[in-house]
Amino acid sequence: MKRIALLGMPNTGKSTLFNRLSGASARVGNWPGITVDLMSAKILLGGHIAELVDLPGLYDLHGFSDDEQVVRHFLSHHAVDLVLIILNSAQIDRQLSLALQIRALGLPAVLLLNMEDEASRAGISINTANMQRALGMPVLTISAKYGSHCPEALSVAAQQLQAQLPQKTPEQVSAALAQDHEIEQAMQHLVETSVHIPAQLNDAMTDRIDRVLLHPWLGLPLFFAAVFLLFQFIFTAGKPLQDAMAWLFDTIRSQALEPLLSGLPTWLNGLLLDGLYTGLSTVAAFVPIIVLFFLVMSLVEDSGYLSRAAFLMDTLMAKMGLDGRGFVMMLMGFGCNVPALMGTRVMRSRPMRLLTMLVIPLSLCSARLQVFLFMIAILFPASQAALVLFSLYLVSFATIFITALIFKRNFASTEPFVLELPPYRLPTPQQIWLRGWQEVKHFLKRASKLIVVGVILVWLLTHWPLDAAPASAATLAGKIGQLFAPLLNPIGIDTQLAIALIFGFVAKEIVVGSLAVIYGLQGDALTQQIASHIDWVQGMSFMLFALIYTPCLSTIATLKSESKSAGFMWLSLGWSLALAWVVSFVFYQTARALGWS
């Protein structure tokens, strides 16, 4: 099988091209360093089945960041039949060095100058024929976002594969990588002979928008206002979808499943209906809101606004020992902590990276979002829902800042912060669809494993022994809850909530399903039961604890693998548990002292 490596600098649309060529769901975002792992897909190219490998974005083959080491290791240890080099046409004068480095390795390559639409709007013209002769490799301009000239690029790539050009062995590539090539003069000559850049680029619209969004006083308030409006839109548009899903699952249960399973033994009927179906359907009812959240977030991410938020936050982050890149990783953590942790590979300073990794698990990830959407809908009126959720995000930021301030002396770093602000863009419908499908697929994958196992275990714990009242003190769940009661009672978390939190340690998606199984109800009956069982102060304390306490097992495993330190992993776990208890304790005891209920 032929192997094609997709290589380029960060923020050049490399993952967008990977998605277009392969149909895979590589994460696409408009900030540097989004591709943090080796993704691959099989494509049909010129009669060959080829493996297309999406390598991490890098600025220099001779750099020292983890991503740059990953690329060097891949090129040095795997035979590569063709390299597709992706550069940004609008920044060609600063990015040609990478193409020259690949040429120096002697690897068969095709240079694809992406974002030709942006270069054209900026008045930049590129003589691809001259550049092709100078580099000794095919050069094409494309737009991965809109698909223009992508078929031609595939055709040229197929011709290069069929030409069977001389290839370097991985050992020869490794030896070439060990050399430091002086290419500044070559790059300057190439730009002078092949690229026309106007004296002043046509980016007036970007400048006008930035004068408002990057205003030193208005920038951050506008950012947080935009986040609040985002939540308000999600609740307003998502609530009818959630209600429709809940009605559908209730109807399926009453009209189909209950008659179908009525002949089964009582315990098996309860396991399948009150355990498996109730747990899964309660979680699945929130999928439309989660999908809507990420569809909207994809607009924000690909627009270039998150890079500007990082720029605005850099001064504040620097006071805490972090930088603007760390803020971007935290925003990535709102989707999932795992890729955010892996994204810290773009940081060359290990202390900076460790401090950033320590605070990322405090980001309010999408799995926790399901828990909060569920509890907020039960305990608060619709007019307050967006404000409550927004306050949880503010608490998330506050815990991040507190953690960074406390530990910054232990992880001191002097690495400078460099961030390139991309132009504003709008994602295409295809990109939005791929992002939404990615999140649905991620949910279904977890539902088929962790959530299924989790809700079954919760049902067994709350119903064993079988002669005990479900979820009572006589069951295994009740005994576990009593064991933790001295620790959790001061923060208003009872036995039922405690069991849900314990299983949330495996995956936060299990928490909502666990509550449905513990109470043995779903839909409106479940929400009414929880609302009568706990007040909003207990619910808020529960949400604060769930926000801060230990992340899921996947995040914990990533912490250990990325830090290469079991001690650092235990530090993160211990700190998050202690901080969660303190924050919930202060809130709960203060609220009760003030007479809130």
CA pair distance 40, 55, nearest whole angstrom:
9
CA pair distance 130, 190, nearest whole angstrom:
9
Q: Tell me which of 157-161, 330-334, 377-381, 532-536 is least confident.
A: 330-334
Q: How far is CA 8 from CA 86, 402, 420, 502, in A?
A: 5, 36, 15, 43
Q: How far is CA 166 from CA 47, 75, 80, 496, 523, in A?
A: 20, 16, 11, 67, 65
Instruction: Report the run of H or E that residue 139 belongs to, with start and end.
Output: strand 139-141
Q: How many CB atoms lie within 10 A of CB 545?
A: 26
Is pLDDT above 60 for 495? yes
Specify the higher pLDDT residue, 383 or 441. Answer: 383
Q: At what angle do helices 495-504 and 536-548 cross, to 10 degrees?
A: 20
Q: Tell me which of 218-227, 435-444, 454-463, 521-530 is least confident.
A: 435-444
Per-residue model confidence as pLDDT tens digits over 369-378: 889 988 998 8
Contact 112, 86 (CB under 8 A): yes
Q: What pLDDT was estimated at residue 558?
A: 82
Is pLDDT above 90 for 278? no
Q: What pLDDT was estimated at residue 303?
A: 79
Q: Tell me which of 121-125, 155-159, 413-417 is least confident.
A: 413-417
Collapsed DSSP state (helix, strand, coil) of residue 51: strand
Domain residue ranges of the chain, discontinuous segments joined by +:
2-196, 220-593
CA pair distance 474, 467, nearest whole angstrom:
9
Residue 3, phi then psi, degrees to nearest 5: -120, 125
Determine the average pLDDT of the residues in 276-280: 79
Structure-block tokens of residue 307: 């890079």
CATH code linked to domain 2-196: 3.40.50.300
Contact 214, 312 (CB under 8 A): yes
Contact 326, 403 (CB under 8 A): no
HEC letters along 318-329: HHCCCCHHHHHH
Structure-block tokens of residue 23: 């149909």
Specify the higher pLDDT residue, 115 or 281. Answer: 115
- Cis ω before 465 (30° cut-off from 0): yes
Per-residue model confidence as pLDDT tens digits over 141-184: 999 888 899 999 999 999 888 876 666 666 766 666 655 455 66
Is pLDDT above 70 for 443? no
Q: Tell me which of 186-195, 240-249, 333-342 is least confident.
A: 333-342
Q: At what angle do helices 219-252 and 287-303 cross, to 10 degrees?
A: 150
Of 88, 77, 80, nearest in space to 111 by CA: 88
Is pLDDT above 70 for 498? yes
Confidence band of 31 (pLDDT split at 50, 70, 90) = very low
Q: How far is CA 136 from CA 104, 111, 165, in A?
A: 11, 10, 12
CA pair distance 227, 447, nearest whole angstrom:
28
Contact 106, 168 (CB under 8 A): yes
Determine the average pLDDT of the residues in 448-462: 76
For the entire predicted model, the pTM comes to 0.70
Instruction: Report the run of H or E that residue 351 belongs to, with start and end.
Output: helix 350-359
Q: What is the DSSP string of 250-312?
A: HHHIIIIIHHHHTTS-HHHHHIIIIIIIHHHHHHHTTHHHHHHHHHHHHHHHHHTHHHHHHHH
